[in-house]
Chain A
Amino acid sequence: MNALPRAAELGLIGCHVCGLVCRDAHAAAGAAEVVACPRCGVALHRRKPASYSRTWALLIAAFIMYIPANVVPIMRTASLNDIDDNTIISGVVELWKNGSPNLAIIVFTASIVVPMLKFLALGTLLVSSRRGSNWARQQRAGLYRLVELVGYWSMLDVFVVSLLTALVRFSVLSRVEPLPGVIYFGLTVVLTMLASMSFDPRLIWDGKDTDD
């Protein structure tokens, strides 16, 4: 491990906002107060504060929202003699049937696979890091980077419903209305993004004896 020293071992902190490497005055003085970064002024932390509890809380809240997001319809298409309510899944199926399997796969990935990936990945990271596990650390670090990279693409369906609502307004002939499912889904995406931001990936590499 000496070849790759870690900042906490050397009494250093990298500022999470501006990247400046600072001496950990907090550790040196043994003081309890939070020290501000001399360059950007934000509070320096060796690890994101209360990372486990915040991430769990946000992830659970996101999952609670995710259930109605999938069960409750997200969009209503009303025409002269027909009312058609679509959930996320039925929207994907419809897209597939109407001859756009490629786009159906993209929407399926953004709306179903990415949120599920976030729940499973962050859940796995939280549990394994809490245990101080050294199992597949490289892969877990890669998994976190993937979650960060693709997370916001889940907003796709929210934008599709919003755009169709604004466009399809032909009075009695045809109208699209948003249904509560889309609100739950939007909240799910926001909450999972906040969850992945509050997880501290440095915890993956910390041993059992590290506090959070």
Chain B
Amino acid sequence: MGTTSEALIVCEHCDTVHQRLALSRGEVARCARCGKVLQRHYRLSTNAMLALIVTALIVFVQANMWPIVMLGLSGQHSSSTLWGVIIAMWREDAGIVSVLVAATLFFLPLLKMLQLGWLLWFARQGRRAPGFVPMMVGLHYLNPWTMSEVFVLGALVAIVKAHTYFDVTPEPGIYAYAVLTVLITVFAGIDLRQLWRTPEVAA
């Protein structure tokens, strides 16, 4: 072996060295020592992944443009988009929360999808995209901080709480968010480290 090896996998959670396996459909390789998933077989081609990301991006734009819920109280109505939420928290002196919401629900998910789209667009042609290395490293670090799926559950809780006092009408934004959550769940099972194996030529 040279200074690096593609044939081996080191378990991130316990440091055990394993041989990389050729998995067949639906198979999952787990660490023999600690049980962490080491490899998963990917049912999706690069094209399918790209299509998924583009769809998610379109749904994301809609989820952010459209109002999420509308409340009614004695003839008055009030609705809000995600940005309405971010601005409201800023104005109510909860700047830290406002920044947290903007980061975990808007900027980081958007950045993640744009980067993935860019990387997959080139991966489709068997190439590494310009900026491949910094983007892949960046994705590794921002991945745990995207929380759209938590927001959907939060919206559900908010609706139920508001329902006691107001007339609640779901608006298109909430449905867009629900679709987005499904897409994110499908995508969450994919280990993007496979992209590292695209050759370095023509970067």
User: Which residues of A approach B to under 8 Å, CB–CB?
Assistant: 4-8, 10, 12-14, 16-23, 25, 38-42, 46, 91, 94-95, 98, 100, 103, 106-107, 110, 137-138, 141-142, 144-145, 151-153, 155-170, 173-174, 177-178, 182-183, 186-187, 190, 193, 197, 201-202, 204-205
Which B residues are CB-close (under 8 A) to A38?
3-4
Specify which of A13, A170, A202 is in contact with B76 (CB 8 Å cutoff): A170
Which B residues are CB-close (under 8 A) to A14?
9-12, 15
Which B residues are CB-close (under 8 A) to A42?
137
Q: Say yes or no: A162 contacts B3, CB within 8 Å.
A: no
Residue B54, interface by CB 8 Å: no
CA distance A21 to B32 in the complex (A): 18
Q: Say yes or no: A159 contacts B17, CB within 8 Å.
A: no
CA distance A107 to B137 in the complex (A): 34
Task: Across the interface, name the chain A residue whose C-beta is closest to B105.
Answer: A159
CA distance A39 to B11 in the complex (A): 18
In residues 1-60 of chain B, which contact A (Cβ within 8 Å)?
1-6, 8-17, 32-36
How many pairs, one residue from A and one from B, have CB atoms within 8 Å of each other in the complex? 219
In residues 122-175 of chain B, which contact A (Cβ within 8 Å)?
133, 136-137, 140, 144-145, 147, 150-151, 153-158, 160-162, 164-166
Q: Say yes or no: A7 contacts B150, CB within 8 Å.
A: no
Q: How does the 8 Å CB contact mask read for B67-79 relative to A, with 1 for contact and 0 for none?
A: 0110101101011
CA distance A82 to B133 in the complex (A): 57
CA distance A95 to B166 in the complex (A): 15
Residue B101, interface by CB 8 Å: yes
Q: Say yes or no: A103 contacts B156, CB within 8 Å.
A: yes
User: Which residues of B approach A to under 8 Å, CB–CB?
Assistant: 1-6, 8-17, 32-36, 68-69, 71, 73-74, 76, 78-80, 84-89, 92-94, 96-98, 100-101, 104-105, 133, 136-137, 140, 144-145, 147, 150-151, 153-158, 160-162, 164-166, 193, 196
B187 to chain A, nearest CB (A): 16
Among all A-B residue pairs, the 9 with the closest Cβ atoms? A14-B10, A159-B154, A166-B88, A166-B80, A141-B34, A166-B85, A201-B13, A163-B158, A21-B8
**Can you name 12 A-B residue pairings with CB atoms under 8 Å?**
A95-B157, A159-B151, A160-B154, A161-B97, A162-B86, A162-B89, A166-B88, A168-B162, A173-B74, A174-B165, A174-B166, A204-B14
A39 to chain B, nearest CB (A): 6
B162 to chain A, nearest CB (A): 7
CA distance A151 to B143 in the complex (A): 13
Which B residues are CB-close (under 8 A) to A144?
13
Which B residues are CB-close (under 8 A) to A165?
85, 88-89, 92, 94
Specify which of A25, A142, A145, A174 is in contact with B73 (CB 8 Å cutoff): A174
CA distance A110 to B5 in the complex (A): 41
Q: Say yes or no: A155 contacts B147, CB within 8 Å.
A: yes
Q: Say yes or no: A5 contacts B154, CB within 8 Å.
A: no
Known: A12-B17, A183-B96. 13 other contacts (CB 8 A): A12-B10, A14-B9, A17-B140, A19-B193, A41-B133, A103-B156, A141-B36, A159-B105, A162-B88, A162-B97, A173-B73, A173-B74, A182-B94
Which A residues are CB-close (under 8 A) to B17?
5-7, 10, 12, 21
B185 to chain A, nearest CB (A): 13
CA distance A151 to B35 in the complex (A): 19
